[in-house]
Amino acid sequence: MHEIFVTMNNWFQAMGVQGLAINSCVESFFLVPPPDILLIAMDLAKPEKALYYATVCTIASAVGGAIGYLIGKFGGRPVFNFLFRKNHDKFDAVEKMYKEYGSFAVFFSAFTPIPYKIFTIASGILDMNFIKFFLASFVGRGARFFLVSIVLMFFGETVKKYLELVILAVTVLIVLFCVVIYKKRHSLIRVKEEVDNADN
């Protein structure tokens, strides 16, 4: 499998920006190397184009996410189980996250190392609101790719080996922020329901 991934990555790299776009798009619904590998190499080679590469990655990945959503919506669980036969048990975990966090779950998968493709297809199966799904995907993917590109643009090779730690640290901060917002939102909803019940 490692050799196949290396061959794929070399093929994408040989195509330049088009390869980056294809890699980012397909990775959102199928098992190919993550676009981060190629993005990092291109950012280091031409840091002045880092933001452009991040933009290409974001748009292509969001489009790929939409394709994954449609695959799930029209293919259902059988397609999910076929594509992720070694991970099909994760569908229940994804469904639980959706019930608890809604579109935040998509954002987390888009930004963090969690397999994004599992969430794109599962979103279609669970019939999540497409607009919310697409916005969460776009923001999550954009945040990840722009973070990588901006860090490399300013610090280059010196920070390359610490990128995952940077992403992890930012992820923790974002998750904490989202959890606080989520709990406050639900507290306000409960207060409103209590007020409405008291009025009745």
Q: What is the pLDDT of residues 61-104, one digit of tens each?
A: 999 999 999 999 999 888 887 777 766 667 777 788 887 777 77
Please, which pLDDT band fits residue 112 given cuts at 50, 70 and 90?
Answer: confident
In a domain, 168, yes or no: no
User: Quick one: the chain helix, strand, coil %, rounded to 5?
Assistant: 85, 0, 15
Q: 67 is written with which tokens?
A: 């394709």
Q: How far is CA 106 from CA 14, 16, 52, in A?
A: 31, 29, 24
Average pLDDT over residues 154-174: 75
In a domain, 186, yes or no: no
In a domain, 198, yes or no: no
- What global pTM score does this model have? 0.79
Average pLDDT over residues 95-123: 82
In a domain, 81, yes or no: yes
Residues 6+ apart with CB under 8 A from 194: none
Higher pLDDT, 29 or 180: 29
In a domain, 110, yes or no: yes
In a domain, 180, yes or no: no
In a domain, 28, yes or no: yes
Q: Structural domain tally of the chain?
A: 1
In a domain, 176, yes or no: no
pLDDT of residue 73: 93
Range of the domain at 63: 2-160
Decide if 50 contacts 149 (C-beta within 8 A): yes
